[in-house]
Structures are given as structure tokens and as C-alpha cells.
């Protein structure tokens, strides 16, 4: 049994060495055969130099792939997964927010036959506002999306080889991994762990990025929002028809009633807004089609010590 660890790193110069030491210590204690696949996601600091040094010192068990620029964590995970040769793969962050000790629990569950073993973090130490917003978001989104998305579940998980192969068989450009993980299915278990603070360096998530991520979650997995547009349109048309009847009947009884500019104005502005919203929604889907049809690689590799690399992120 060989275990592969995939670690996307973006500007993680401050922690990679620490991470490497900790993970090796843990895996050596467990007595498993392992390989580490680091992906430098176009870092602007000394991350790549650190990875090179690690690869020289630890040769066979360390691979690294360095991107030509920042392609995002999802691309990093994809590149890392493509490099893995293990029978099982663990995806983890470089900042030690994903405690390496949990790998032993994951391996045990894997040996019991589970394909996806997910470590879900509690929200201890998060700002209460952020926690509340996240909870609400997941409540709403699970009504909309076909796949189930769970609060606190991130990329920290162990995947069996067949689960990894399933993920790699999905060629889409827009990779919302939370959804992809859920979409592939297989025998899945989740366990909780206490949220840990970042060891060093800083988080790459800004508020705007979170909002974008939230939108991706809503739109990436089905076209139900478009259906909502149809229903809303039908409802509006129904209301308009009913109002037309009321106005006509009133006009026949009492004669024409001229003032009504407030109704008119509200209707024009309201409907205009609604139309813009729906157009934006359609545009969002078309934009996604546009990106998919270009069939661009998910990432470009600048440098690697991994023999399996194709040089560019060609589609599987």
C-alpha cells in the first residue's frame, strides 16, 4: 500500500519546510510507503526554491510541479492528483491547518473499505458573522444543487485510487472541487476535527473571492437557477394578467382612472431589474460554455522533477 500526499502551495515559503518535516514524521511513524506531490501554484516568494531543495534532499519520495503563474488551488489539486501513483491519495493544505495526525484515522477508515474519507473542520475560532453566513449559504445551496455540499468540508480528505481516477476523468475547465468530490460518489465517510489556526503565512481568501466561490457553487452544478428564472417569469406574467383584468373591470365600472404613475414606475423599474438579473444569470452560463469550449489546459507547468508530467496540463 502506497500513500500519495497532494499539497497545493501558493506563497507558502514560511511553512513548507515545517510542513514537510511534520508530515514525514507522521508518515514514518505510521510505517506507510509514501510520496509527496507538491504543487507550486505560481508563488511569488521563495516557495519554489524550497520545493527544489526538498526534492534534492529527499529524492524519490518528493515530486514537485511548478506552474507558470497562479492558476488557483483547484488547478493545483488537479496537477497534484495527476502526478500521484499511490493506492490512496490525501489532499492537504501546506499551512498545517490540516493536522497530519488525522491521516492515521483516514487510513484506518480506508482499510475498512471506504473510498472517500473526509475530515470536516469545526468552525471554532472563526468570526461568528462568517460562521452564520456560511451556515445560511449551505442551507440555501443544498436546496438548489444536485450534489450535497457540507459546511466545514474542504479539500482535506483521503481518496482511494478509483475515486482519484474518477476525478481525473472529469475534464471540465471550471473545477469547483467541493462539488466534483461530491458528484463522483463512492463510499464516503466524514469525521470532525478541531479547527486549527494557520501555522505561518497568511490566508489567500479575500471577501470578494469568497463571494465568487459562493456563486460558483450555485451555478457550477446544474441549471436550476435558469429554471427559477422561468418560474419567476411565469409568476410575473400571471400577476400582470390578473392586474390587467382588475384594471379593465374597474375601468368598465368607474370609467378610466388616469393617475397610476407610481404603479407604472414600480412595474417598469422592478421588471427591468428582474430582467437584468436573469440576463446576467444566462450570461453566467454562457460564459462558462465559452470557457469550456476553448479547451485551454487547466494549468501550464514551468518546472518539475516529476517524470510523469506532460509539460502542459493536457486534458485527461
Q: Which residues bind ligand UDP (CB under 6 A)?
A: 8-10, 12, 41, 70, 72-73, 76, 93-95, 97, 198, 203-205
End-to-end CA gap in the chain: 25
Residue ranges in 264-283 that form contacts with Mg ion under rule CB under 5 A? none
CB of 124 to Mg ion, least distance (A): 14
- Considering beta carbons, is residue 43 or 116 the nearer one to ligand UDP? 43
- Cα distances (Å, whole numbers) of residue 117 to 33, 39, 155, 186: 19, 22, 11, 10
- Considering beta carbons, is residue 15 or 109 the nearer one to ligand UDP? 15
| Element at 301 (helix H, strand E) | strand 301-304
In 145-206, which ranges are continuous DSSP H helix?
161-168, 177-184
CB of 239 to Mg ion, least distance (A): 48
CB of 226 to ligand UDP, least distance (A): 29
Residues 152 and 134: their CA atoms lie apart, in Å, by 9
- Cα distances (Å, whole numbers) of residue 11 to 15, 40, 109: 9, 8, 33
In the chain, which ranges are continuous DSSP H helix?
16-30, 47-58, 73-83, 102-111, 128-144, 161-168, 177-184, 207-219, 224-254, 261-294
- Considering beta carbons, is residue 76 or 86 the nearer one to ligand UDP? 76
CB of 194 to ligand UDP, least distance (A): 14
Q: Quick one: what does residue 100 bind among ligand UDP, Mg ion, none, with the CB cut-off 5 to 8 Å set by partner type?
A: none
Inter-helix orientation angle 161-168/73-83, to 10°: 120
> For residue 69, how far is the Cα from the chain centroid?
19
Q: Quick one: what does residue 41 bind among Mg ion, ligand UDP, none, with the CB cut-off 5 to 8 Å set by partner type?
A: ligand UDP
By the rule CB under 5 A, 190 interacts with Mg ion: no
CB of 31 to ligand UDP, least distance (A): 26
Q: Quick one: what does residue 70 bind among ligand UDP, Mg ion, none, with the CB cut-off 5 to 8 Å set by partner type?
A: ligand UDP
Query: Are residues 188 and 140 in contact, defined by beta-carbon separation less than 8 angstroms?
Result: no
CB of 52 to ligand UDP, least distance (A): 17
Q: Quick one: what does residue 72 bind among Mg ion, ligand UDP, none, with the CB cut-off 5 to 8 Å set by partner type?
A: ligand UDP
CB of 284 to ligand UDP, least distance (A): 22
- Considering beta carbons, is residue 205 or 310 the nearer one to ligand UDP? 205
As a residue count, the chain comes to 316
Residues 39 and 37: their CA atoms lie apart, in Å, by 7
Residue ranges in 85-124 that form contacts with Mg ion under rule CB under 5 A? 93, 95, 97
Binding site for Mg ion (CB under 5 A): 93, 95, 97, 198
Amino acid at each position: 500500500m502506497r500513500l500519495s500526499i497532494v499539497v497545493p502551495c501558493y506563497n507558502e515559503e514560511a511553512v513548507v519546510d515545517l510542513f514537510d518535516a511534520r508530515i514525514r514524521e507522521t508518515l514514518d511513524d505510521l510505517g506507510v510507503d509514501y510520496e509527496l506531490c507538491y504543487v507550486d501554484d505560481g508563488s511569488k516568494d521563495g516557495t519554489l526554491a524550497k520545493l527544489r531543495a526538498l526534492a534534492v534532499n529527499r529524492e524519490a519520495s518528493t515530486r514537485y510541479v511548478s506552474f507558470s503563474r497562479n492558476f488557483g488551488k483547484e488547478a493545483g489539486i488537479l496537477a497534484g492528483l495527476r502526478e500521484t501513483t499511490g493506492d490512496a491519495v490525501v489532499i492537504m493544505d501546506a499551512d498545517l491547518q490540516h493536522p497530519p495526525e488525522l491521516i492515521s484515522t483516514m487510513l484506518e477508515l480506508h482499510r475498512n473499505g471506504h473510498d472517500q474519507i473526509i475530515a470536516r473542520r469545526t468552525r471554532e475560532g472563526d468570526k461568528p458573522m462568517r460562521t452564520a453566513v456560511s451556515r445560511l449559504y449551505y442551507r440555501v445551496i443544498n436546496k438548489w444543487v444536485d450534489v450535497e455540499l457540507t459546511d466545514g468540508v474542504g479539500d482535506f480528505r483521503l481518496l482511494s485510487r478509483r475515486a482519484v481516477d474518477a476525478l481525473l476523468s472529469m475534464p471540465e475547465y471550471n473545477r469547483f472541487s467541493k462539488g466534483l468530490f461530491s458528484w463522483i460518489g463512492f463510499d464516503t465517510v466524514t469525521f470532525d476535527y478541531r479547527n486549527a489556526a494557520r501555522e505561518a503565512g497568511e490566508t489567500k481568501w479575500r471577501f470578494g473571492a469568497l463571494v465568487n466561490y459562493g456563486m460558483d457553487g450555485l451555478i457550477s452544478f446544474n441549471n436550476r437557477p435558469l429554471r427559477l428564472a422561468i418560474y419567476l417569469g411565469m409568476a410575473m406574467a400571471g400577476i400582470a394578467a390578473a392586474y390587467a383584468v382588475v384594471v379593465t373591470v374597474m375601468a368598465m365600472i368607474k370609467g378610466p382612472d388616469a393617475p397610476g404613475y407610481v404603479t407604472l414606475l414600480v412595474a417598469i423599474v422592478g421588471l427591468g431589474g428582474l430582467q437584468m438579473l436573469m440576463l446576467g444569470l444566462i450570461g453566467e452560463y454562457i460564459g462558462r460554455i465559452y470557457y469550456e469550449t476553448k479547451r485551454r489546459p487547466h494549468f501550464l507547468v514551468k518546472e518539475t522533477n516529476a517524470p510523469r508530467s506532460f509539460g502542459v496540463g493536457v486534458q485527461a
